[in-house]
Structures are given as structure tokens and as C-alpha cells.
Chain A
Amino acid sequence: MADVKFLLTGDTSLSVEFGNEISEEINAKIRAFNIALADSKLPGIVETVPTYRSLMVHYDPGVIQYAPLVKRLQGLLGQLDHIEIPPSEVLEVPVLYGGEMGPDLDFVAQHNGKTPEEVIRIHTSTEYLIYMLGFTPGFTYLGGMSDEIATPRLKTPRVKIPGGSVGIAGSQTGVYPIDSPGGWQLIGRTPVKMYDPNRETPILPQAGQYIKFRSIGQEEYDQIAAQCEAGTYVCRTYPREEGGK
């Protein structure tokens, strides 16, 4: 991994940069390195933050200083090819499309010369890679949406979008984790709380996972919402089949 760069981000963190583009290949390397680093139990590591093309590593210089840390990380990089990395996980997110929950579904369909049913079929047929989280707690930057349903943002953003709303902005798709203003075209809503500060796992999605949306009806929406309220709902996850890789 000769092209990996170590960048200073102050005196208690550094950035391990794997490239200068947004690609699944680079993201896979970041994920592998993050897993290898966690498994290594290297003393002094405080937390890591995966982003599109780098892994930010926060550390305590009272335990390990910059130069020796870079040496240890370089050593880990050299072993990456020999470390078994578990397959990525898919997080299945149930969504009630259209109607009140997705007021822009018809517009997205119209814009692309499709029926609403076709938009739902296309939106639910892809596993979207979570490149990173940021912006607000639990907000996922997803890749891989089909251009067939790409739609520009609203000209005038909405003042308040309910948490759980699923939207499209250009060729991006994503879920609003909390109530916030925004200009995405809203096509549906999930009853699942992507972010709940008082839950044992406050944030469900993780960088390096994939999200797959599943279309549900009102009845199932209400059931899942009630289970979420009671704290008994568990979002389904399953290992991704690395077909063709």
C-alpha cells in the first residue's frame, strides 16, 4: 500500500488517506484497515472515524506518540492482505412509500417518466454502500443509487422534515435521522429510528455497511413503529453476498 498517506490532523489524531476519489474499492480498504486496527488492540487508540477516502485515528500521545504510531500503522497496513475481513453487513430498512409519508414520490416518478411503483421497485432493488456518517447524528452518505430515479432537490427547502423521512437529492438517496430542515425529495418514511440517544446502540447504521430498503404497508409500518416505541424492534441485518467481486 505504497500510495497510503499519513496526514497530521493536530497532535492527538492523524488521517490515514487511501486515495483521492470516492470509490467502493477505497472504502473497502478503509473498512478493512479499521477492523484490523480494532483487532490489533493497539494501546492509546481513542476512536476512529471512517470517511470517503480516509480513516481518522484519534490517539492519546501520553500512551503513544506520532512517530511510533505511524510505524505501527504502517506495519498493520502491510499485513492487510493476510487478515481475514468478515463480509459487509446489509441493514434492511423498512419504508412506507408515497402518500403522506412520501409527498414527492409522484413528482420523482413524473420527472423520470416512470410510475410510482417503478420508482419504489428501483429504489428497493439496490444495496447502497454507507460510505460514511456525518452532518448530523446517524446521517448516512450512501452511494449506488440508480440514475433512473435521480431528481433535483426542491427549489425551496422544507422548514421541517420529520425524522425517518427517506429522500432523493440528485443521484443521492438517504434517510433523515432527526427532524431537520432540508430540500430532498421525500419518497417515503421508515418507522425505524436510525438515531436514539437513549438506546444501547444509539445509532444503527455504520460506515462500511450497506442499506437495503424494503417496501412495507401501513399496517406493518404501525406495528414496527409500536415495537420501536417499546424498544423491542430489531432491524434485520444479514451478511452481504460479495457477488462478482
Chain B
Amino acid sequence: MSITVLNPGLLTTVQDMGRVGYQQFGVSVSGVMDPRATSIANILVGNDEGEAVLECTMLGPQLRFDAANCIAITGGDLGPTLDGKPIPNYCAVSVEAGQVLRFTGPKTGCRAFIAFAGGLDIPVVMGSRSTYMKAKIGGLAGRKLAKDDVIGFRAPRTQLKNMKDRNLYPEFVPRDVYTVRVVMGPQDDAFTDAGVKTFFSETYTVTPEFDRMGCRLEGAVIEHKESGDIISDGIAFGAIQVPSAGKPIIMLADRQTTGGYTKIANVITADFRLIGQLKAGDKVRFEKVSIAHAQDALLTQRAALRLLRKSVDR
């Protein structure tokens, strides 16, 4: 009851919603880069929203199914095929023993998430199955997938009820400019008015330095009043750090828990699905919203997920 990794792809890791409760001890949260896509994939195969999935980056893995199971792939479209035939994203698919899942290459976005019905047999470390490569914990011995790895299923399902309804129109992933909503803070007062204006009026480009820790952007310099250094404080997912050089860095799942650079704003949770898909060359614009607006957007997204759950599990 397992899959065998024929080719690991560029960077494929086991991730769930992250290691909650240990940031006070310096442990990064980790977890998926696109929590919404992950929730949808899990709901489509009847799992809890937070079940561990395989997060695939750009070039997806080749996986041989040694046992039948139902899967769903969400997030960016990395071109999934089953025994050479394209299969749809955002759709539960039943896979037979012996079949091989491959990815032909990215069409939209950067990361896809594969959920397996019944979940993967991966030990829980400090409350999570997420791979935290820097500390070498979680997932498969704290590392990315490698050739010949075998990952067990916990409770595979060959069929799911209402199979025909486990099928969604894929979520929109931009092809040109990503507009990302942010709330100001915590150090927006460290920037000049001109600096804040630059941040919201310019378009930034993702540099080749983008990984699970953060995404460096190139573009107009955001002006500080004095400097970009602060006494270290906590860093949230989606924090936009601006060091003294004035170029923004969006902090992501494997970010350090604390840091000493000014943070001008924070991406709202409802838009994590966008920043989780950024890759080199993509363009980003920032749009300011209020905290009330941000939290309403998050709660609206959660309500939609509950509705989806009801409609497929009825």
C-alpha cells in the first residue's frame, strides 16, 4: 500500500498545515506554501483539510502506485498525466495499482499539491508531518523526496462516493501580474511617505532567489526614514521585509521565526494562494486593505470550503 518515487522532481516534500506551537522555541512553522489549494485537494478526496500532501515545485515527480488510491491535484498546473494521459487538476481521480503519475511541465503557477485519500504514512514530529529541511525533521527524514523512496498509504480508497461531483473548475492563477492584498504593519512607520507610495505604485519582479523561506523581489527602492534594521521581532507568513537596501522580500512557510529587518506590510491570508505560486520573472503589485476586510476575506474563503465539503460528502 504505497507509492514508489521513480523520479523526485525538482523539489517535492511532504507538507501539512505546519508545526504550530513551537515558534517560541525558534522552530519554523513550515507547512504548505498554498494552504487553500491544499485544503481543496484534501476535501476532494475526503480527507481532513490539514492532511499531509506532496508539495511539488515546478517540475513534478514521477510516482508509481503500488496500490490503488484516489488522489486530487490542486494549485498550479504542472501538467499531470497518468500513464501518459493528461488528468485534470482540481478533480478526484482514482488510480489503479501499477499506474504512473508524471508531470510534463509547468503551465501555470509554481507549485502543485497532491492529496491521497486516507493520507500518507509519515510519522508526526512535534505535532506535524511537515518537512522542515533546515532542522532535518518531518516528512521523509526531514528531506525532500529522492529516487526509490517508498511512501505508504494509511487508508487508501479505490472509490469515493459522489465521484462525479469531486470536480471543480481550477482556481484562477495569474499568468502576468499578481495583485496581492496586504495590511500595513508592523513597521510601516519606519518608511517615508514616498517609500510607502513607491511600494503601492510600482510593479515588482520575482528574482531567481525564491524558495520556501522567502521570495526576493526586484524593483524601485522603498525609502526608509532611517534604516531597515530593528531589534528582532516575530515574522508572520506573508510578511514583507524591507532591509536597508530597500528591496522587498516576502517571507514564506520556512521563514525564520524572528528577524531584524523592518516589515512594511503583510500579505493577507486569503491571498497566500497567490504568493505560494510566484516564480522568477513573475510581476507583483501590492494593494492595501483594512484588517477588517482581510479577515472578512479569510472567513468567506473558509465558508466556501465548508460548502464544498458539504456538497461532496453529502
Q: Are A11 and B233 in contact (CB under 8 A)?
A: no
Q: Are A9 and B25 in contact (CB under 8 A)?
A: no
State which of B21, B125, B233, B263 has its C-beta within 8 Å of the C-beta of A198. B125
Q: Are B236 and A13 in contact (CB under 8 A)?
A: yes
B159 sits at the interface (CB 8 A): no
Q: Are A11 and B24 in contact (CB under 8 A)?
A: no
Contacts of B266 in A (CB 8 A): 8-11
Q: Are A133 and B24 in contact (CB under 8 A)?
A: yes
Contacts of B298 in A (CB 8 A): 11-12, 61-62
Q: Are B234 and A54 in contact (CB under 8 A)?
A: yes
**Stretch in A75-83, A116-124, A164-172, A200-208 touching the partner:** A200-208
Q: Are A56 and B295 in contact (CB under 8 A)?
A: no
Fill in one digit per residue for A37-79: 1 if any B CB lies within 8 Å of its CB, else 0.
Answer: 0000000001111111110101001100111000000000000
**Stretch in B143-151, B182-190, B195-203 touching the partner:** B182-190
B107 sits at the interface (CB 8 A): no
Contacts of B231 in A (CB 8 A): 20-22, 51-53
Q: Are B26 and A9 in contact (CB under 8 A)?
A: no
Fill in one digit per residue for B22-35: 1 if any A CB lies within 8 Å of its CB, else 0.
Answer: 11111100000000
Fill in one digit per residue for A113-156: 1 if any B CB lies within 8 Å of its CB, else 0.
Answer: 00000000000000000001111111101000000000000000
Contacts of B15 in A (CB 8 A): none
Q: How many residues of A contact B (CB 8 A)?
A: 47
B232 sits at the interface (CB 8 A): yes
Contacts of A58 in B (CB 8 A): 23, 236
Smallest CB–CB gap between A83 and chain B, Å? 20
Contacts of A141 in B (CB 8 A): 232
Q: Are B258 and A132 in contact (CB under 8 A)?
A: yes
In the assembly, what is the distance between CA of A13 and CA of B258, in Å?
14
Secondary structure at the A interface, as helix, strand, loop or mixed, is: loop
State which of B126, B134, B237 has its C-beta within 8 Å of the C-beta of A10. B237
Smallest CB–CB gap between B112 and chain A, Å? 25
Smallest CB–CB gap between B180 and chain A, Å? 12
State which of A8, A12, A66, A132 has its C-beta within 8 Å of the C-beta of B186. A8
> In residues 183-221 of chain B, which contact A (Cβ within 8 Å)?
183-187
Q: Are A66 and B291 in contact (CB under 8 A)?
A: yes
State which of A52, A61, A133 has its C-beta within 8 Å of the C-beta of B299. A61
Q: Are A138 and B26 in contact (CB under 8 A)?
A: yes
B238 sits at the interface (CB 8 A): yes
State which of A47, A65, A207 has its C-beta within 8 Å of the C-beta of B295. A65
State which of A56, A65, A137 has its C-beta within 8 Å of the C-beta of B135. A137
State which of B22, B24, B233, B292 has its C-beta within 8 Å of the C-beta of A207. B24
B253 sits at the interface (CB 8 A): no
B140 sits at the interface (CB 8 A): no
Q: Are A48 and B24 in contact (CB under 8 A)?
A: yes
Interchain Cβ contacts under 8 Å between A and B, 15 examples: A7-B187, A10-B183, A10-B294, A11-B269, A12-B269, A46-B20, A46-B21, A49-B257, A56-B236, A58-B236, A134-B26, A136-B135, A137-B135, A197-B135, A203-B25
